[in-house]
Amino acid sequence: MNEFGIKAENASLKSLGLGNVASALWNLEPSQLVEETIIRGEGELASSGALAVDTGEFTGRSPKDRFIVYDDITKDAVWWENFNIKFDADKFDALYNRVTAYLSGKDVYVRDAYACADPKYRMNIRAITETPWANMFIYNMFLRPTNEEVLNFTPEWTIIAAPGFMADPEIDGTRQHNFAVMNFTKKIILIGGTGYTGEMKKGIFSALNFILPHQKNVLSMHCSANIGEAGDTSVFFGLSGTGKTTLSSDPNRRLIGDDEHGWTDEGVFNFEGGCYAKCINLSAENEPDIFNAIKFGALLENINFYEGTTEVDFEDKSKTENTRVSYPIHHINNIAVPSVGTTPNNIFFLTADAFGVLPPISKLTPGQAMYQFISGYTAKVAGTEAGVTEPQTTFSSCFGAPFLPLHPTKYAEMLGEKMRKHNVNVWLINTGWSGGAYGTGERIKLRYTRAMITAALTGKLNEVTYENHPVFGLAMPTSCENVPTEILNPRNTWQDKAAYDQKANELANSFVKNFEKFADYANDEIMAASPKVSVNA
């Protein structure tokens, strides 16, 4: 085996069963990884300087092919349901040996990195990737040790990503040829059959979602976070399309991170060292921070160029709607260094309610916050290709169900405990529709949403009166600076009040039905926050 690059003197791949690879290229600089990718014919430079690659068959995660090894650590702690699928320990060992045999005689790229910006919770990671651009993704997305730290680096977790290895379900115990398997005893994430880089990122996130709450009493969160000039921290939870990235980008506040954080007794910290942003319909006008971050060192995935050029056509979704870019967080100017913040003063749950039922802003009690957190609601507007115009409810526990090894109530109760201990304000923000459902009403204006968030951050909403929503029980402010009063109570924006009442009850029924699977685990305070469905509506 030939070895190149910088590494600790005692660092070796032999203990991982990879002693027979052709070459191990350790901790190459991004410029070297770009060069390797281009030489191998696996990517090209866009006009902005970013490296553009295709991830192959898979352009997104495959939740049904994500497994957790069933062993003494996980058997009684993991919530074994749709997203947490058992994998036999012996099958893992056999699959691991087949992957390492596949990599024999091939060049591999090794990257030492770490997760968690708080030194108390630092997790050292060694990633071995089959492609140079996947190694560049690790460089972009995780925290980067100094050269001195690399020379003394000891990994705690290992990622092995071999997209060219295709599993045989009959032999390997997988569902199909692709897989991502977490082994908490051996601290290995084994990925094969897929080149989608997000599997590596979310593998580590899933591991931290087990380790931090279960073993270290730290709440792990799928959220963005920023910090104001006065040192006040805010956290934004929300599913795709709710405005999480947009609303956490604020010229008056520094970005702590855009996706994954932990909350300790001292404050919050970013798990990552980069951003993984959607590119579809990206423009300099709508998302200047992301647009300007796409330069040399950024990694574009599954985009297309305008014909005859190397200029990215961000509206082209012929490969996938999930076009992506990863870049180190320092590609953005207005960031917190290091990526840590104080205990949050305000938490925002973002939902894009396409039914036009929920208020544009409401203040939650601890019980309501836990209920809404477990529910993780938003609504998606159906695609026009199916000829369907009715919105569809989407529930994702804790705004990140596919990444939660523990039962959602564990995370929710930790959130409620921290809310009470630190007197944190929790707000539900509807960035969706007002005056009617999608197709009838209008999308709530972004400037109104920003004004409501600003009023919450500056304490202006502490000085106003509130009224409770009759079905959801949410406390709605009766006035808010720079926001028309008439939109604050959603029922007032509907011409047909009876139609609103009916739609509110329909949505409440959806909440109640979705929550049935959690009811046996939820405490009385959480259950009391359930919407009150009217039998007469």
- By annotation, the residues acting in catalysis are 61, 202, 222, 240, 244-245, 259, 324
CB 194 within 8 A of CB 161: no
Which residues pair with residue 109 across a beta bridge? 25, 129
Q: Closest Cα to residue 500, out of 509, 491, 492, 488?
A: 491
Helix residue spans in 217-357 (DSSP H): 244-248, 288-293
- Determine the residue type at 388: V
Number of Cβ within 10 Å of residue 162's Cβ equals: 24
- Starting at the edge strand found earlier in the chain, the sheet holding 123-129 runs 2-5, 23-26, 107-115, 123-129, 157-162, 188-192, 179-183, 66-69, 85-87
Residue 447: C-alpha distances to residues 18, 285, 314, 482 (Å): 55, 15, 25, 9
- Look up residue 39 and give its two tokens: 């030489």
- Look up residue 301 and give its two tokens: 């995935």
Q: State the Cα–Cα distance between residues 366 and 397, nearest whole angstrom.
A: 17
In degrees and rounded to multiples of 5, residue 409 shows phi and psi of -65, -25
Q: Closest Cα to residue 408, out of 237, 221, 216?
A: 221
CB 64 within 8 A of CB 41: no
Q: 186-209 as b/e, with b when 16 or more CB fall inside 10 Å?
A: bebbbbbbbbbbbbbbbbbbbbbb
Q: State the Cα–Cα distance between residues 83 and 92, nearest whole angstrom.
A: 18
